[in-house]
Amino acid sequence: MNSPADHGSRFASAVYSSRIARAAELARGAGLDGLVVTPGPDLRYLTGSRADSFERLTALVIAADGAQASVVLPRLELASLKESAAGDLGLDVLDWVDGVDPYAIVAGLLPAGAKVAVTDAMPALHLIPLADAVGTLPILATAVLRELRMVKDTAEIDALRRAGQAIDRVHARMAEFLTAGRTEAQVAAAISAAILEEGHTAAAFVIVGSGPHGADPHHEVSDRVIKNGDVVVIDIGGPVEPGYNSDSTRTYSMGEPSADVAAQFAVLEAAQQAAVDAVRPGVSAESVDAAAREVLAAQGLAEVFVHRTGHGIGLSVHEEPYIVEGNSIELIEGMAFSIEPGIYFSGNWGARIEDIVVVTADGCESFNNRPHGLTVL
């Protein structure tokens, strides 16, 4: 269920046991009979397992009645389980060999006709036969598991803080990588190497949006040559052990920007700060989105802000809570998410400023502390 490389880079087994118990409690409160969690971020959160999803079923089965959780897995993966964080949890282990129906094993751990929820990472390859074996179509466990994963504990917050510091160190070196005459792809390759050098285990994503490409929020890289006068959006991040992610965007100008660019960027900077200032326990996620949007609207820039203000972050780069209009969920101390308004002028240029913040007792703490202004290189 794990790669040997992550042995030792995990939380204490008591943390995972507590999470499993809490998941059972939440499932019970939701009227479910159990949860079935296959490899992905939810399984990693609950057990520390970094197993991959293959054609052979691996699943954690959590009964809502509080009975001992079980793991069903191929015998081929048994040794990996014993070496992983999940091997320390005292789970009931039911291994199977080719020719045995693993879905029947899972169904046997649950009441007949059980109301079951499954992780949203479960592939259809496993969902359909599981539904046949259980006798009912499972629902998504997102509503249950998000109650656990949205609010970070002290160890998770520390991991996110270290991830933020690591990606800040990469942005601090940007003058090494981002120079006129290089292509976006060349800059991205240098940034990717620096992400590893500064303590990440991988470069999960690198966006280098220069000139007109900066007006595409999800542009990645291209062979476009970066020119003097370009505004360049750099959005980068990746996991830091034990797997919690960084995600930070800064915008750079290749030479002094025009007066119009500088003025519009100053409005964006004020909008991002207004959203950060709006974060505190008890306010709604959508009110933080509105705080950024109102500043931009007041200066006629509402139509060029084309995405939500933020997304939760943790073991996944994008998870709940989402900071967007229509999300009335109240913020709770320990929630971590991005604040990243942007402005995008199609065919010309774009800009975005992004910090990861965590809700504190009376506001928020930012995990990214590089200058927010338009940095001239």
Lowest mean pLDDT among 30-34, 73-77, 231-235: 73-77
- Average pLDDT along the chain: 94
Q: Contact 344/216 with Cβ under 8 angstroms?
A: yes
CATH of the domain at 128: 3.40.350.10
Is residue 277 located within the same domain as residue 303? Answer: yes
Query: Are 170 and 110 contained in the same domain?
Result: no
Give the number of domains in the chain. 2
220 and 281 share one domain: yes
| Residues 127 and 207 reside in one and the same domain | no
Q: Rounded to a whole number, what is the largest CA-CA distance in the chain?
A: 70
Beta strands in 211-264 (DSSP E): 231-237, 239-240, 244-245, 248-253
What's the pLDDT at 52? 84
* Alpha-helix residue ranges (DSSP H) falling in 109-183: 124-134, 142-149, 154-172, 174-177
Task: Tell me the backbone φ, ψ of residue 160, rounded to 5 degrees.
Answer: -65, -35
Domain with 88 in it: 4-149
**Position 10 confidence tier, pLDDT thresholds 50, 70, 90:** low
Query: Domain end: 127, 149, 171, which one?
Result: 149
Of 79, 92, 24, nearest to 51 (Cα)? 79
Final residue of a structural domain among 149, 175, 206 = 149
- The pTM (predicted TM-score) of the whole model is 0.92
Helical axes 259-278 vs 285-298, angle rounded to 10°? 150
pLDDT of amino acid 51: 84
Tell me the per-residue pLDDT of 205-237, one tens digit each, with 9 for 90 and over: 999 999 999 999 989 999 999 999 999 999 999
Report the b/e string of 243-255 with b at 16+ CB within 10 A: bbbbbbbbbbbbe
CA angle 192, 197, 202 (to 5 degrees): 50
Q: What is the pLDDT of residues 278-337, one digit of tens each?
A: 999 999 999 999 999 999 999 999 999 999 999 999 999 999 999 999 999 999 999 999
Cα separation of 45 and 40, whole Å?
A: 9
Q: Which of residues 114, 149, 184 is at a domain's end?
A: 149
Q: What is the pLDDT of residue 9?
A: 54
Report the alpha-carbon distance of residue 141 to residue 48 in Å, rounded.
Answer: 18
Question: The domain spanning residue 193 has which CATH number?
Answer: 3.90.230.10
What separation in angstroms does the CA of 133 have from each of 25, 69, 137, 217, 219?
Answer: 24, 19, 10, 43, 43
Residues 271 and 319 grouped into a single domain: yes
- Looking at the fold, whether 102 and 237 belong to one and the same domain comes out as no
183 forms beta bridges with 225
Whether 164 and 294 share a structural domain? yes
Same domain, 9 and 38: yes
3-state secondary structure of 145: helix
Are residues 328 and 268 part of one domain? yes
Q: Are residues 315 and 204 in the same domain?
A: yes
Measure the CA–CA gap between 329 and 148, rounded to whole angstroms. Answer: 14
Task: Find out whether the peptide bond into 321 is cis, omega within 30 degrees of 0.
Answer: yes
Report pLDDT digits (tens) over 330-365: 999 999 999 999 999 999 999 999 999 999 999 999
Confidence of residue 6 (pLDDT cuts 50, 70, 90): very low
Closest CA to 42 of 25, 59, 67, 29: 59
Residues 174 and 143 in one domain: no
Does residue 166 sit in the same domain as residue 264? yes
pLDDT at 7: 36
